[in-house]
Chain A
Amino acid sequence: MSLLEIHDIHTFYGNINALKGVSLQVEEGEIVTLIGGNGAGKTTTLNTICGITPPRSGQVCLNGQDITRLPPHKIVELGVVQVPEGRKIFTRLTVRENLELGAFGRRDKTGIARDIQSVFERFPRLEERQRQLGGTLSGGEQQMLAIGRALMAQPRILLLDEPSMGLAPLLVREIFNVIVSLNANSGTTILLVEQNALMALAVANRAYVLQSGYITHADSAEKLRHDPAIIEAYLGG
């Protein structure tokens, strides 16, 4: 049984059919990436998993438990945590308050304090700015805050939506290092959505390619990296 398994998902925005039968699995401990062009349905896939845009039909299962119709906050409680596209920091809350909100479903005060400390160790710049409003951070710092905030929820599986978007190359490298170390050192399972397919395929175990609401390829990241069709379409080949 996979940790996360979605089966034949169809999701609509009004009459717009964004996902037309998407299926994918993520095994415990893996990094899986979902790549595809603009408007392919990547964000919709993550939001369907999280209960923000429930599917019209199809199933989302976590460890075999059907979570398709659960409200978003229940899904977070089960350990499915998303770092949304565009970071979505709460700009009028302080950096520290943003982190505390990440732990909203938790009641263990000492555990929360310890985890805030470990986020600060991972991202020292957040500690310096913990009393500043989220809106005053730079793009890179906001991405670190978004990841730190998600870690506060103690994810079993972390869904990252284009974490490298709009960042300078040096920062992109740093963010990818964080993703790899989260997986290698903390054993966090990761589903990574990216337009930067080159970087994503370099760190992932397996990959899915999404195009206009359909999965067109599913294979090991290594194989897809050398697939001529993928190179041409997504790797600037």
Chain B
Amino acid sequence: MIQKSQTAFKNQSPRLSINGLLNRTIQNPLRLIAIVLLVYILVVALSRLLGGDYRADQFARQLIFGLAQGSIYALIALGYTLVYGILLMINFAHGEVFMAGAYIGFFVITALNNAGLLVSQTLLALLITIFSGVIASVIVAVALERIAYRPLRNAPRLVPLITAIGASILLQQLFLRLFGVSTRRYPDVNLYAFPQLFPELGCATINGETICRGIDLIGGRYDVVVFGLQLRVLPIHFLVFFLALTFMAVLWFIVQRTRIGKAMRAVAEDKSTAALMGIDVDQVIVITFVLGAALAGAGGVLFALYNQQVSPFIGFIPGIKAFTAAVLGGIGNIPGAVFGGLFLGVVESVAPSMLGLSQQLKDVIAFSMLVLVLIFRPTGILGEVLAQKKA
């Protein structure tokens, strides 16, 4: 009997039919659990929405925050995905590459603040800070590649993985010993912009004269009413989102359109043939680490600009979250990393209060998603890449 039903199941067309779905669900208890879970989530969310326990303005606020947080995840996730695409290796020290950018950025922005430049030349000071964060992350990543990973290029795949975890701990401890355990705080920054667009904002009276400098993109908080929703809006969240999208667009352009991007794709597909084309494979691998680190470094400074707290450990959780995001989107897949990052950021920001759970459960939600994806769709939501790679 059982055998018969299994043959019937195999012969079924892959087309989605209620019957087939039911059959497969009953046969696979994991699938059953997942479907029950999804239905439960939907019912709870809907009933809370209808019952007025969860309001639209809450949703809007959490969505915006989730997109900002998600863009940071996406920026880090791109580093995981780029390196995986080329070396089939998870660089678990990438969270510390991110931390290095944020941490060194702290020293630079503090120095610029003490010099008065952060107030007098805010935009320039911020650009310098981001640039130094990028440089710091790039230096750490290049050193990692050179010292820890390159000598293991031909070792079994587990070896560089374990090395990466070791490197992650080493970098945390190194920053801890060098700079101390205390959490550092980024200074408050006010970056006024668009006085024509927002003529009533940012007004101050100096020497009896009132000047309006427009919207404060970094430190500002504004209560606004949009579509009848009372919202408290932080422009920094939008700024982070748009800057992250810009950086990712630049990366996309580099990979798809430039000579070096073509070389990266060739090396990702077949290293020895790439070498036969005259490509310096080691150099391309270094460039890949540099690109991933630059995005992480920029992300680190942006993260620190709205989160303000930095310590040697701030890379750990975002690093794992970004890894989750990369897997969600399909590791090795660039649009997948962006999608996975934004998706994870939004879900963990929106889900707890939508489901009436404690905000502290957001990490549980994020990692449950990782487990679910690994069980049901190990190639990620957008990806077949992994399967192709193995072939």
What are the residues of chain A within 8 A of B281 when measuring CB–CB?
73
Closest-CB distance, A177 to chain B (whole angstroms): 24
Candidates B269, B273, B279; contact of A73 at CB < 8 Å: B279
Interface string of A77-91 (1 = CB under 8 A from B): 100011010001011
Interface residues of A in 40-76 (CB under 8 A from B): 47, 50-52, 71-73, 76
* Smallest Cβ-Cβ distance to B268: which chain A residue: A92
- Asked, given contacts A52-B272, A104-B259, whether A92 binds B277 with beta carbons under 8 Å apart, the answer is no
* B171 CB contacts on chain A under 8 angstroms: none
Are A93 and B266 neighbours in the complex by a CB distance under 8 Å? yes
Known: A91-B269, A93-B265. A104 touches B277 (CB 8 A): yes
Q: How far is the CA of A104 from the CA of B283 in the complex (A)?
A: 13
Cross-chain pair count, CB within 8 angstroms: 62
Report Cα–Cα, A84/B276, bound state, in Å. 8
Indicate if the CB atoms of A92 and B276 lie closer than 8 Å: no
B-contacting 9-mer, from A94-102, A116-124, A182-190, A192-200: A94-102
CB distance from B319 to the nearest CB of A (A): 28
CB of B382, distance to nearest CB on chain A (Å): 15
Chain B contact patch, size range? 10 to 19
Question: What B residues does A88 contact at CB under 8 A?
Answer: 270, 273, 276
Chain B CB within 8 A of A105 CB: yes
* Candidates B262, B270, B273, B275; contact of A100 at CB < 8 Å: B262
Contacts of B278 in A (CB 8 A): 72-73, 76-77, 104-105, 153
Contacts of B245-286 to chain A: CB distance below 8 A: 259, 262-263, 265-266, 269-270, 272-281
> In whole angstroms, how far apart are the Cα atoms of A51 and B279 in the complex?
13
Bound CA span A82–B277, Å: 8
Q: Does A149 contact B (CB under 8 A)?
A: yes
Given A73-B280, A90-B270, A91-B269, A52-B263 contact (CB < 8 Å): no
Report if A76-B265 is in contact (Cβ < 8 Å); known contacts: A52-B272, A90-B270, A104-B259: no
Chain B residues within an 8 Å CB radius of A76:
276-278
Chain B residues, CB < 8 A from A52: 272, 275-276
Within B180-237, the residues touching A (CB, 8 Å) are: none
> Across the two chains, which residue of chain A brings its CB closest to B280?
A73
Interface string of B53-83 (1 = CB under 8 A from A): 0000000000000000000000000000000
The answer to whether B262 touches A101 (Cβ under 8 A) is yes
A90 touches B263 (CB 8 A): no
CA distance A50 to B273 in the complex (A): 11
Query: For A50, what are the chain B residues with a Cβ–Cβ distance below 8 Å?
Result: 275-276
- Shortest CB-to-CB span from A129 to chain B, Å, is 18
Min distance, Cβ B122 to any Cβ of chain A, angstroms? 41
Q: How far is the CA of A84 from the CA of B263 in the complex (A)?
A: 18
Task: Enumerate 23 A-B pairs (CB-CB under 8 Å) in ascending A order.
Answer: A50-B276, A71-B280, A72-B272, A72-B276, A73-B278, A73-B281, A76-B278, A77-B278, A82-B276, A88-B276, A90-B265, A91-B269, A92-B265, A93-B266, A100-B262, A101-B262, A101-B274, A101-B277, A101-B279, A104-B263, A104-B277, A104-B279, A105-B278
**Given A73-B281, A90-B273, A104-B277; 16 other pairs, CB 8 A cutoff:** A47-B272, A71-B275, A72-B275, A72-B278, A73-B278, A84-B276, A88-B276, A90-B265, A90-B270, A91-B269, A92-B269, A93-B269, A101-B274, A101-B277, A104-B263, A153-B277
